[in-house]
Structure 1
Amino acid sequence: MFDSKRVAVGCFLAITFSFFLLILAIFSRYSHSNSFNLEKGERIRAIRGDIISSDGYTLVTSKKTFRAEIDLRSLDFDKLDYFLKLFGIYAFIDDSEIKKIKENILKAKKRNQANFVLSKDIDEKAASYLQELAQKINYSNIFKAFENKNKKIETRGLSIVEHKEDREFLKYDTLTPILGYSQLDLQNNIFANIPKKGLEKYYDDCLRAQSDYKISGIKGIGKNIVINKNSFLSSRIDGCKLYLNINLKLQKALERIASIANKEYDSKEVIIGVLNSDDASILALATSKRYDPYNRKSDLSYLNSSAVEFSYEPGSVIKPIAFANLLKLKRITPYELVKTYGGRYKLDRFTITDTHPMDSMIAEDIIVYSSNIGMVQISNKESVSELIDGYKEFNIGEKTGIDLPYEKAGFIKAANKTYDVEKNTMAYGYGFSSTFIQLLAAYNVFNNYGTYKIPKLAKAYSINGVYNELDNSYKKEVLPLEIAKQMNRILIKTANQKSLEKFWPIGINVGGKTGTARVNINGAYTKDYNANFFGFANDLNHRYTIGVLVISPNKDKKGYYAAQTALPVAALVINQLVEDAFLEPNYK
């Protein structure tokens, strides 16, 4: 009995000792690979959000690229060919490229190089396969333990690491430079996008990655983290999806019109804008100067958005704004008679002329026939400060607040530094500067019942699946309704003179004003001109405000007057709105 107990105890001790040796062996094996009972963290980086057109097309998105690397101190070179064969299959790399990788590995070995990058241009699909491969070869002895500089034993296998995040422009140069761009900058061992211009910069807080996926805890034997109360987990939240008011189909059509016109007029640039008059949402903002998103350095000037960053003297398109201010001040009426002196008038040291010489005309015909002399006569009915304050009510010389960075304010002299003769020339568009977007927003007042709205490119965003409308509630009454209606009627009369009505599609209500002005550089007028058209096109249910700017057309080609350049472009724009069903002609 006593002997049997001793045998039993001996067996128990033997089994216990054997079990202890087994555990020790397991611990020894996995401690070499640094994978047992240790803290481990895993991080999957969130990506920058998409920019999407109003008709549902993704314009800009993000694409991750990964790099694959190994530590040559861990690599069993007897199994190098076997490893590279597997790597080529999982990474979709052909044999010729694998051959180059092998040559570079052998060169790196001779230099006693430790870390080696196999490839740094791996897409997400291949990266997922390679991560699977990395797990499978943990037990294949392709990678062996080595002693590091800290005298610790470790094994480093195949590592798949996020390398950079590229911004992809899926519609090539469409809407550039409004979309803007970003530059890659090395941050935390990853090339991240730093926004520099356009919507990318303005909405960076929304578009940038919000939260990475992170998990940390104790590693299990299979190199997986054991989830328990001591683990840490955070969700991945990508940057927002930014939804624009821009209609891609219309945008591309107007860009084509701008590019053809720019070539035809041999101009520096052609800009076209279309607003929904109700809320000032921008349906299209096209330019002939669009950069190649994959070769931005070819012409750096193309990176600028001229619609908001280029200021110029507007010429006669300012006359309706000055005229409306006089109506508002009750200094004139539309039908009072104004002397225009046969089309020639001495103003200080200069003689100004009209293209439609008359001895006199009713006040509203000063706008219809674009009389500089008439504008001088009626501007004498107000003070310098009243004229300048009137312009500023329309945000001329002030930033509009459009959702783009680097918007210019233009320039208007202070009233106390402006002479009366300067006031007279300011009344017909000289002596100050504005921007295309300022004039587009100002003309929208005439088609929106006297109310000023801030032009907006983006309408909403969604983040983590939650949709949010962007606030565009700001509005300002600039003109009383009755005066806005009068100006609307006068602009329709202006655009539908016998010489102009042929341009417009039948059944659409078109109003607007042309303007041509010399280019002023550093206070001196050159031989170049800028040509504008601003106005509107309406049907029974829709109202759109339209602007066209032709910068420095070659006068030896088609001419430089706005009626020869900007107005025909505006006609093409309105016909495009009809073709794309934004406007429905009423033939009755």
Structure 2
Amino acid sequence: MKQFSHQSDIFELSKNRRRVVLSLILLLFLMLFSRALYLQQIKKDFLQNKGDGFIVKNEVLQSYRGKIYDRNNNLLAVSSPTFDIGLSISHKLPKKHNDQIADNLTKENINEISKILKTDEKILLNKIKNKKKGYIYIQKRSSPETAKKLTAMRIPVLNFEKKYTRYYPNREASAHVVGKTDLNGIEGTEGLERQWDSILKGEKGHKKVVVDGVKRVIDDLNDFKLPKNGSDILTTIDNRLQHIAYEALKKYIGRYEANSGSAILIDAKNGDILVMTNFPSYNPNGVVKSYDSMRNRAITDVFEPGSTLKPISVAYAMEKKKIKHNEIIDTRDGFIRVGGRVIKDDHPQDQMSVKEIIQKSSNVGATKIGQRLESKDLWGLYNKLGFGAKINVGMPGESNGRLSEYSNWKEIDHATLTYGYGVNMNLLQLVKAYTVFANDGLMIKPKLYKNDNFVETERVLSSSTSKIMKDFMKSVVEEEEGTGTKARIPGYTVAGKTGTARKYHNGEYSKDYFASFIGMSPSSDPKFIAAVIVDTSTKKSFYGGAVAGPIFKDVMKNALKLYDVPYDKELNENLMNKMVKPQTGDAKL
């Protein structure tokens, strides 16, 4: 057996073997160096382009935007999934490939895609041929059904980006309340969509992916955060009545060739807003052409209420015992001079009862009664009713209105304030004031959200004074001498007041008018309060009773019917026969 004199002798190679190993190592380094030189110099541009085509992208995962409901859980706003469909084109094939358009697309593919998308095949083909490289959208906001059909074709270069499109089933009728989102359906820009945007939109998620230069996902890096869906909003709106009110406004504004109009209806007992609508309006599902039509006039626009304020000032004079409810007032043949200004009545009389002053809407009578009140007391009443201050109902754009300090009033200001000039408000503020007459002297704050069960009340008048004035307002509609007979509803008594007020513009009163009507029904125990205002009627009439009264009637009668409110007066026999008489002829059962 061979003996080794030292341990290193075991691993020692012969001289030839060492040369072979060294040569192999040098050869290996030479190959690596050559490869590096090749990649860095010869293939430099190719590799850079290849590297630039792959990026790590933080892909946003959109949250599902919360729904908006009416009081009966009918949808007013909902997000529907849609897909933006695109093509990733990484190269253009030579012209000799007549059967193939680009990458994995063939003429047959293009034909089938155009049929599914219901688009022109030539337009789609030209769009693809003119794109040498990159990403092109071929259709945005496609339905899930369309995306499913295209997915089944298994074309690798087809991409689908899932998004959500906001849809509004009640369209123009509820547009001013619900509002709208931006084109992507992500950010609320108007109405409740804007007011509660942070609650509705929830929280976005994300995931990291590797994509190539034409947006194709190459790899999922498994780094993600799931989105948190938005919360729902439940309103007090009744979309059935909302639609009816909108159509009534549209009909009569067209008939009287007016500029615009608004309508509000609330539950008289708890303040729930069932209707808040305006005309003109806009379709939130489409592109808005006129920003003026987006204004929620019922709460943004202010007006001088005119004669609709007379029941409030006269009732307060009775409350303060400045006048008796059965007193006869000297109306001086419908003419009175105050502070150098003349106040006149349209239907002059020498004297009137307090009831007739309300029934026939006498400016002179209201002035004579108002002169018995102190300015401080009258201002205190209007301030308590909330004139000049927001209700804060939870909608963007709500106006304050204006009520000047009584210390600044002149004699003529005090006089005109008793019949609705010199103070301005929005329509909802006027409705709030009239809750006093529907609830035996208690004022109720209107509310817009169904989960708000708290009814905020405040005593303004005594029960007896409120009931007397309600009876006076009943005569406005139910008696022939009244100015509001066009607001009568078969089977129900109505207590209300007409208003016809000149428009104040650029520091002076114009020849245009606001026509208004506000009332409650059944007057024996009011279930609803409704108010209507029409801006500048130019045809047939401009009076509140003639123009706004019929709109009130259409809205109120449908509300009473839908909510099965019992009749409180006998129906006319002839009308009854019309209602129950079976249809004949071609009518279908």
Report the TM-score range of the alignment, normalised by the length of the smaller protein.
Answer: 0.7 to 0.9
Aligned to 1:204: 197
1:353-383 per-residue CA deviation (whole Å, 9 max, x = no partner) reads 2344343334344323322222222222222
Pairwise CA distance, 1:423: 0.6
| Maintained 8 Å contact 2:85/2:138 | yes
- Is the Cα contact below 8 Å between 1:271 and 1:285 reproduced in 2? yes
Amino acid at match of 2:395: L
Cα displacement (A) at 1:448:
2.2
| Aligned counterparts, 1:434-473, within 5 A | 434-459=425-450, 469-470=451-452, 472-473=454-455
Distance 1:353 1:569 in 2: 28
1:486 aligned to 2:468? yes
**In structure 2, how many angstroms separate the alpha carbons of the residues matched to 1:250 and 1:115?**
48
Separation of aligned partners in 2, 1:183 and 1:232 = 29
Partners in 1 of 2:321 and 2:299 — Cα distance?
33
- Secondary structure of residue in 1 paired with 2:174: coil
Q: Quick one: structure 1 residues 108 and 507, their matched pair in 2 at CA, closer, same or farther if it must change by over 3 Å?
A: closer
Q: How big is each residue's C-alpha offset from its partner over 1:2-52, in whole Å with a ceiling of 9 and x where there is no partner?
A: xxxxxxxxxxxxxxxxxxxxxxxxxxxxxxx99xxx999775421322222
Larger Rg: 2
Report percent identity of matched pairs.
Answer: 23
Report if the CA contact (8 A) 1:68-1:158 is conserved.
yes
CA gap of 1:237–1:481, structure 2 versus 1, over 3 A, is: farther
What does residue 360 of structure 1 align with? 351
Moved more, 61-70 or 318-327: 61-70
Structure 2 counterparts to residues 111-510 of structure 1, below 5 A: 113-127=133-147, 159-162=159-162, 165-184=164-183, 191=184, 193-208=186-201, 210-212=202-204, 214=206, 234-294=225-285, 296-459=287-450, 469-470=451-452, 472-500=454-482, 503-510=487-494
Matched, 1:58 2:42: no
CA contact (8 A) 1:92 1:126 kept: no
Contact 2:323 2:369 in 1 (8 A): yes
Report SS of the residue matched to 2:465: helix
Matched, 1:531 2:494: no
SS of 1:559's equivalent in the other structure is coil
Q: Deviations over 1:485-533 (max 9, x none)?
A: 3332332233322245575234313101111111110221111111111
Q: 1:397 to 1:42 in 2, by over 3 A?
A: closer
Q: Is the 8 A contact 1:338 1:362 kept in 2?
A: yes
Quote the offset at 1:542 in angstroms. 6.0
Give the Cα separation in 2 of the matches to 1:472 and 1:196: 29
- Report if aligned partners of 2:438, 2:525 keep a CA contact under 8 Å in 1: no
Partners in 2 of 1:119 and 1:355 — Cα distance?
Answer: 63
Partners of 1:217 and 1:106 in 2: CA distance: 29
Distance across 2 between alignment mates of 1:212 and 1:158 = 25
The one-letter amino acid of 1:204's match is D
Distance 2:103 2:119 in 1: 13
Residue 7 of structure 1: aligned partner = none
Counterpart amino acid of 2:160? I
Q: 1:286 to 1:493 in 2, by over 3 A?
A: same
Count of residue pairs the alignment pairs up: 505
Q: Distance in 2 between matches of 1:382 and 1:375?
A: 11
Q: Secondary structure at the match of 2:244?
A: helix
Instruction: Tell me, in whole angstroms, the C-alpha distance in 2 between the residues paired with 1:82 and 1:216.
Output: 27
1:406–1:238 CA distance, 2 compared to 1 (3 A) = same
Runs of 5+ consecutive residues of structure 2 not aligned to the other structure: 1-49, 211-216, 571-589
* C-alpha distance in structure 1 between counterparts of 2:422 and 2:118, whole Å: 69
Q: CA-atom RMSD, angstroms?
A: 3.5
Find the aligned partners of 1:43 and 1:254 in 2 and give their Cα distance.
Answer: 42
Indicate if the aligned counterparts of 1:401 and 1:455 stay in contact, CA closer than 8 A. Answer: no
In the TM superposition, residue 405 of structure 1 has moved relative to its aligned partner by: 0.9
Q: 3-state SS of the aligned residue for 1:333?
A: coil
Structure 1: tracts of 5 or more residues without a match: 1-32, 138-156, 185-190, 460-468
- Give the structure-1-normalised TM-score: 0.76
TM-aligned CA distance change 1:51 to 1:393, over 3 Å: same
Q: 1:567 to 1:471 in 2, by over 3 A?
A: same
| Counterpart secondary structure, 2:182 | strand
CA separation of 1:54/1:92 partners in 2, compared to 1, >3 Å: closer, same or farther?
Answer: farther
Mapped partners of 2:321, 2:510: distance in 1: 37
The match for 1:27 is none
Distance 1:302 1:503, change over 3 A: closer
Normalization by structure 2: what TM-score? 0.76
On the 8 A contact 2:359/2:481 being kept in 1, the answer is no
Q: What amino acid is the match of 1:196?
A: T
Q: Using a 3 Å threshold, how does the CA distance of structure 1 residues 502 and 372 change in structure 2: closer, same or farther? A: closer
Distance of 1:352 and 1:114 partners within structure 2: 76
Q: Given that residues 117 and 139 in structure 2 are in contact (C-alpha distance below 8 angstroms), is that contact kept between their aligned partners in structure 1?
A: no
Contact kept? 1:48, 1:62, Cα under 8 Å: yes
**Do the aligned partners of residues 62 and 96 (structure 1) sit closer, same or farther apart at CA in structure 2, a change above 3 Å counting?**
closer
Distance 1:121 1:570, change over 3 A: closer
Structure 1 position 240, deviation (Å): 2.7
Shift of the 159–497 alpha-carbon distance from structure 1 to 2, 3 Å rule, reads same
